[in-house]
Amino acid sequence: MPPDRQISPIVEISRTRRAPWFMFRGPIGFEWTRIRTPVAGLPDELNGFRFMHLSDLHLRGAWSRAYDTLVEGLAQSPPDVIFITGDFIDNQNDHRPGLRTLQRLLPQFKSRLGIYGILGNHDVDVISPYLRDLGVHLIDCRRALLESASNARLELIGLPGLNRRDLDEHFIRSQPPKPANTLRIILSHYPDQFPRSRPLNADFFLSGHTHGGQICLPNGRAIITHDKSPWPYYKGVHRRDGTWYIVSRGLGFSGLPIRINCPAEVAEITVVKPE
């Protein structure tokens, strides 16, 4: 199937904050991307449901002013729920500096239904208990069903994030058909797991890992993505096989401590009934 070069004309995207085109050593700013997406068959109770998607925080020992900006934004208008698709910390060999920043940052996040997330390839199992103590509901290789309002439900499916090879066909086949009056959302650290998740018929597939390329040409095309997804599926909002496929550029970055032509990003998604 050819790439969905043009986003569906009924999706609305706006950016209320601009970030520098060049960053070094830390996220000094980020784009706050607001996305309004229609979902067919959405229960009336979930019309206007709003969630925040964060990914690839790659927290280190230093505090960034971008974190203060994010906390202030969440305090002014808390979303219904916050999703984080992995890579909470950066250093796989020494989690302690990133953990200290994590312990300062996460308690300041505000949302109605809490924080749900999966681990990423930079995370280590040892941080899982800390994340749970900080209020993060980890759903790696799990399904969670939330009663959001009356008969409407929010269903979350977390794919394994520590290693992309941990996703097996048994896990996909073991998931039940999407229930009625339900919004189904998949959290995946890796965008290229989307083809294997197609049988789940999700309304949303949220992912990260690529950092949008992190270092891009002036036209926004990435030099390296660390992902097998075809261009332009390594970042942005797309419609794929009836699913809203959203890949975050991430808030932090790793490897070379630099971003060029690829601003850090947080995304706020509002789900609405089609007009």
Q: Write out pLDDT tens, residues 261-270.
A: 999 999 999 9
Residue 36 sits at φ, ψ, to 5 deg, of -120, 115
Average pLDDT of 160-167? 90
Q: Label the pairing between strands 136-138 and 152-158.
A: unpaired
Question: What pLDDT does 149 receive?
Answer: 57
Q: For the domain 23-272, what is the CATH code?
A: 3.60.21.10
Apex 132 CA angle, 129 and 137, nearest 5: 135
Instruction: For residue 65, give both structure tokens.
Output: 């002013």
pLDDT for 80-132, tens place per residue? 999 999 999 999 999 999 999 999 999 999 999 999 999 999 999 899 999 99
Give residue 3's pLDDT band: very low, low, confident or very high (50, 70, 90).
very low
Q: Is the pTM of this model over 0.75?
A: yes
Instruction: For residue 71, give both structure tokens.
Output: 């906390």
Residue whose C-alpha is closest to residue 207's, from 190, 185, 225: 190
DSSP SS3 for 250: coil
Give residue 245's pLDDT band: very low, low, confident or very high (50, 70, 90).
very high
Instruction: For residue 87, give both structure tokens.
Output: 């890579």
Question: What pLDDT does 255 receive?
Answer: 86
Torsion of CA 105, 123, 240, 195, to 10 degrees: -170
DSSP one-letter code for 274: -
